[in-house]
Amino acid sequence: MGGLNVQRCKEKKPVSFSKYGDGEYLCASAHSGGNCDGDQYTDKLRNGLIDSFKYMTQEVDNSYIGMWWDENTNEFWKSLVEDTDRIKCAYYHTFIVDKTDFGTDTIIQKMNLYRSIQESNLKKIIVCNPLLVKLQYLVKSDHMVNIPFNNWFDTKFEEVFNAIKTHIGDDEQPMVITSCGMSAKVLICELTKLYPKGIFLDFGSAADFICTKKHSRGASYTYEDIYIMNFYRFYLQIGMIKNTNIFIRKQLAD
């Protein structure tokens, strides 16, 4: 999984991981329409993705990019920067469980990575939509910033960014976990500029299945398949689920 490993999280070493998938590619390369989450490809988002990719690969030494595996996609991103050797690629599915992980050491590595995040005593902030409320308990975060389900970048980016900064306060080394679509790449870039000692992790759609038991990307395995393999079992403690249900009822009441 490249430089994004358990030891780095345990030792609180600054690192970032951003997933640049097919949606980010289509948006940045000026395609029309939107991605599978309903996020529209706007000019503002396009420029934000391009600028973020350039900055994180050319100016930040501890930045890792989960690149989509299509050759044309990779060549596009490489064409944007002067020094392609500075692009540090990590496994695209660093946090997403793949069917191909079953029966391999990769599933253990992912479980240990999740565990190291859960056990970290850094101030943790999650940025996600309201359906992923359980993630706050699963990674034992201090704060959660909710975003709309889609199309929030053009109108609400500053509001979300400022909310994250408020939660960080004077802390120089926060851990921010994003599960908020294409806009996460720009958030991570701008946060890195302000908090170079921080840890910024783009979960992407990995949290969808963990929190809702529903696939948002068409995986072929079931939640129970992974639970049997002990991947989520260390998360799903009765106390956590009880607290989560109480929190959800409170959110609905509010």
Alpha-carbon span 193 to 199, nearest angstrom: 12
Residue type for position 158: E
| Greater pLDDT, 225 or 163 | 163
In the sheet that 143-146 helps form, which strands lie side by side, from edge to edge? Answer: 89-90, 63-67, 15-20, 199-202, 175-179, 124-128, 143-146
- pLDDT at res. 197: 96
Average pLDDT over residues 131-155: 93
Task: Tell me what pLDDT residue 40 has.
Answer: 97
For the residues 12-30, what does the mean pLDDT come to? 94
Q: Taking residues 153-157, report their average pLDDT.
A: 97
42 pLDDT more than 90:
yes
The C-alpha angle with vertex 109 and arms to 112 and 189, in degrees rounded to 5, equals: 80
State mean pLDDT over 7-27.
Answer: 88
Query: pTM here?
Result: 0.86
Cα angle 51-175-160, degrees, rounded to a multiple of 5: 55
Instruction: Report the percentage of the chain scoring pLDDT > 70.
Output: 81
- Amino acid occupying residue 226: I
Which pLDDT value is given to residue 250?
41
How confident is residue 218, by pLDDT bands cut at 50, 70 and 90? low
Top pLDDT among 192 and 234 is at 192
> What is the percentage of the chain residues whose pLDDT exceeds 90?
57
218 or 254, which is more confident? 218
Give the Å distances, CA to CA, from 50 to 78, 92, 94, 225: 11, 18, 22, 38
16-to-61, 64, 234 alpha-carbon distances in Å: 10, 6, 25
Q: What is the pLDDT of residue 146?
A: 96
Of 31, 33, 17, 48, the residue nearest 178 (C-alpha): 17
Calculate mean pLDDT across residues 129-136.
Answer: 90
Long-range (24+ apart) CB contacts under 8 A made by 72-79 are: 73/22, 73/25, 76/25, 76/28, 76/29, 77/20, 77/25, 77/28, 77/53
Q: Which of 58, 111, 65, 60 is nearest to 81 (CA)?
A: 58
Largest CA distance in the chain: 52
